[in-house]
């Protein structure tokens, strides 16, 4: 199982509440903050919901 490095690149100001909660659930919240998560369908779904606010890199 691989890992994903997720970096927040845009602010959550003026975003809908579910998007803010998803960013928080991923462990983000500030621009340029990075987190590493296991590559699971749940994490992929969360990333898809906020894909306009984050970048994703696959790492080994």
Q: What is the DSSP string of 1-60?
A: --EEEEEE-S--TT--HHHHHHHHHTT--STT-EEEEE--HHHHHHHHHTTTTEEEEEE-
User: What pLDDT does residue 34 have?
Assistant: 98
Cα–Cα distance for residue pair 59/31, rounded to 1 Å: 21
pLDDT above 90 as % of the chain: 97
- Whether the predicted pLDDT of 1 surpasses 90: no
pTM exceeding 0.85:
yes
> Domains plus CATH for the chain?
3-59 (3.30.1390.20)
pLDDT tens for 32-53 read 999 999 999 999 999 999 999 9
User: What pLDDT does residue 60 have?
Assistant: 82
Buried/exposed code over 26-44 (b: 16+ C-beta within 10 A; e: otherwise) = bebeeeeeeeebeeeeebe
User: What pLDDT does residue 5 have?
Assistant: 98
């Amino acid at each position: 199982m691989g890992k994903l490095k997720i970096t927040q690149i845009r602010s959550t100001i003026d975003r809908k509440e579910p998007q803010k909660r998803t960013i928080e659930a991923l462990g983000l919240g500030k621009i340029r903050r990075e987190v590493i998560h296991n590559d699971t369908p749940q994490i992929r779904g969360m990333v898809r919901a906020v894909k306009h606010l984050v970048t994703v890199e696959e790492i080994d």
